[in-house]
Amino acid sequence: MLEATPLGEGWILRHEPDALPASVPGCVHTDLMAAGMIPDPFLGRNEAEVAWVGRRDWTYERELTAPSGQERTDLVFDGLDTVAEVSLDGRLLGTVRNMHRSYRFDVTGLSGLLSVRFVSAYAEAEAVRERLGERPAAYAEPYQYLRKMACSFGWDWGPTLVTAGIWRPVRLEHWSTARIARVRPLVTVEEGAGVVELAVDIERTRVDAPLTVEGTVGGHRIRAELDGAHGVVRLRIPDARLWWPRGYGEQPLYDVEVRLLDGADALDVWRRRIGFRSVELDRRPDAHGTGFTLVVNGERLFARGVNWIPDDVFPSRITRERYRRRLEQAAGAGVDLVRVWGGGIYESEDFYDACDELGLLVWQDFPFACAAYPEEQPLRGEVEAEARENVVRLMPHPSLVLWNGNNENLWGFRDWEWEARLTGDSWGEGYYLGVLPRVVAELDPTRPYTAGSPWSGSWRHHPNDPAHGTHHSWEVWNRQDYAGYRLSVPRFVAEFGWQAPPAYATLRRALPGEQLAPDSPGMLHHQKADDGNGKLERGLERHFAVPDGDFDRWHYLTQLNQARAVAAGVEHWRAHWPVCAGTVVWQLNDCWPVTSWAAIDGDGREKPLYHELKRLYADRLLTLRARDGGLVLAAVNQGAEEWRETLTLRRMSVEGEVLGQAAVDVRAGGRSVARVDVPRELTPVGAKEFLVADAGAGAGTGVRAGTGAGTGPGDRAGGDAGAAGDAGAGTGGLRALYFPAPDRDIPYPEPRFDVALAPGGVTVTARTLVRDLLLQADRLDPGARADRGLVTLLPGEEVTFGVRGWKTPDVERARSALYCVEPTR
């Protein structure tokens, strides 16, 4: 039987004359930090002080003895970052040049000093650039010239920390006669039954041994004789339960086992989990252009998505528990699709396991982003090899529903002046329209492939044409007010977003001792976007008076503006289902503490945007929009059951007076949108008026009418993110607000409210209109979390913020951590 010996201990990191203990898996930066040789690059402006690390060569060493009674011993690296020579006892085993691949070396009978010498990624990339010629890119660093996580060279949200190291596990494998080299599981649903076809490849030491492969799935077992190095077993599971995305059904998973047998003796075993489901991508042309709709088990979906970047710029630090925690946060916000972005990595099995269990669909980019990539050797062979390995590695996961060729490269060729600069040089088109679709079609025909994001489906249309395929909406953040989202209805919005700073406690940790200001040295260093602060300020001043010298106020308003901006897009596009079939917010997470588009900051704290996503991505959503001089109310129902509701509409003044009221019936079938014209007499007139639409008296928003103490429906004092994500998703308890003027022009009253401690939280009772009230729990205690974000209270209403992790509750501290919109002064 194959035996595996982990090799995680006993390594040293050597750079003459220094030698220090090394952690494997790990990287040079984390080892140097552990030894106290470099400061934490996430703090202050330390990133610049450690730039030298990526420019040097480094060597990992350990003694290796490999005694075994078996015929063969292999040295297996699951990941090496990135360009290295591997030697044992002075003998060169091989050279490697791809972070996204695993490597195997025959070391039978060998022992001695094992050495992995890493060449600077800069040196390798610059050498390839010199040989193949300059290629354009969105950033100056040479990330497109080698197969490495592109964002380690920096991005508009990430630091430049160019890593090297043994970033995934390493082991010895001892075996005799034969081993399982690869299992390719094709999982389909045919006539109501689950079908698994297991294509098995083996490696032999003896070609004459008659071998058998045995496959087991869900209690069903079958055997087949091997023909040389290949064999196929096919199992039909008549009673298989379907795997569904979260919110559509359950996620049953089945254990799969493949055993390689020599007579009655087991030589090797391969185990995974699978789920039975069908997936299609409907790209048929229609009256609106060309669609892009995911269809799972025959059910057409509006994808409620987020973009995922590596959760740490040092990915070897991301544990199984951290993946699970971050993805549970996503599920708790109502997310059902996670796009693994192309400037990062193929994530570890832990990521996809969690998505399988949580019902999160995965859109997987191949690792190409924002650059023209040469197609000559040595890159071409590496691209195909990594694609073949990772397609097969990730195939068992039912959560994986889409392969995507690249991020923004087809768009860049057309719009970013690449075509003229390239003058006929290769730039990656052969990968996205040739190599990658061929590999997917050969190895994984059960899943759709799209050439890029954005991509209109062919060169007949502009790559980012909103009427065809996927669309990235960045003109709004870069140049326009977020009201610009409402000017079009793309078929699928794969990227859009708005920036905001991280939580206050995250800033205090990352910028110790700094007097915080939007333009203080540390804040500017942790703002990587081109003119990022300028865009934040311009976006803010369209709605608010920009505070001068009041950092706390600026911090609150920029976070509020981020939530408002994303809400403007999601509400509009969801209301236009099925023409628009999905939104993928840029972005869920951060890889370090930074001002960015993330909903969860680099320390794992939720911004107000995160809590707003709970409302925006709930099964049921109410939204009010201006149209033809009046207002339209859209009731979005993504649940399977019909939604019937009598809504209360109130035209109100900002002083709290009800100026008009009506009841309106809505009826939205399952997975549909109902639209109702608001009576003209209820349309707000001027900046002093607004409209409120309530289902169930606002209960599901966590708001309770009246002034008595207690917890209203939807309030979960001390509840976790997973529970809170369903608040307001029932038959009642939804609220939509419409203000016809920007906040800076609205004559708000001075906000007045009472604050009291409640069991597990803080209760606020409004005495006036209180718009977008926010409890910043991390200001109470760095470890504290609130269970909700922004909430607007009418006079007499109350809300309870559940708070976890607050060690010493105090009502005055609570009051000081509450922020809301204030009248313009």
Widest CA span in the chain: 90
Q: Which residues pair with 692 in a beta bridge?
A: 650, 737
Q: Is 571 a catalytic residue?
A: no
Q: How many CA atoms, within 13 angstroms, populate the side-chain half-sphere of residue 79? A: 23
Q: Please report, for residues 167, 715, 747, 761, 823, the alpha-carbon distance to residue 753 in angstroms, rounded to integers and kept in the order given.
A: 52, 18, 18, 16, 15
Residue 112, Ramachandran bin (φ over 0: left; ψ between -120 and 50: alpha; else beta): left
User: Can you tell me the distance from the alpha carbon of 286 to that of 580, in angstroms, rounded to the nearest whole number?
Assistant: 12
Read out DSSP for 259-328? EEEETTEEEEEEEEEE-B--EEEE--EETTEE--EEEETTEE--EEEEEE--SSSSGGG--HHHHHHHHH
Token code pair at residue 821: 């919109």
User: Can you tell me the distance from the alpha carbon of 523 to that of 517, in angstroms, rounded to the nearest whole number?
Assistant: 7
- φ/ψ of residue 107, rounded to 5: -120, 25
Cβ neighbours for 759, distance < 8 A, ≥ 6 positions apart: 717
In 572-728, the DSSP E strands lie at: 582-585, 620-627, 630-637, 643-653, 658-668, 672-677, 689-695, 703-704
Q: H helices of 698-797, where?
A: 721-724
Token code pair at residue 566: 């994303």
Closest CA to 753 of 745, 743, 763: 763
Closest CA to 409 of 372, 446, 457, 445: 372
User: Can you tell me the distance from the alpha carbon of 559 to that of 506, in angstroms, rounded to the nearest whole number?
Assistant: 14
Among residues 141, 386, 408, 571, which one is catalytic? 408
Token code pair at residue 4: 């595996």
User: Can you tell me the distance from the alpha carbon of 134 to that of 744, in angstroms, rounded to the nearest whole number?
Assistant: 49
Q: Which residues pair with 495 in a beta bridge?
A: 472
Cβ neighbours for 515, distance < 8 A, ≥ 6 positions apart: none
Q: How many CA atoms, within 13 angstroms, populate the side-chain half-sphere of residue 153? A: 23
User: Can you tell me the distance from the alpha carbon of 25 to that of 165, in angstroms, rounded to the nearest whole number?
Assistant: 8
Does residue 185 contact residue 198 with C-beta atoms inside 8 Å?
Answer: yes
Active site residues: 408
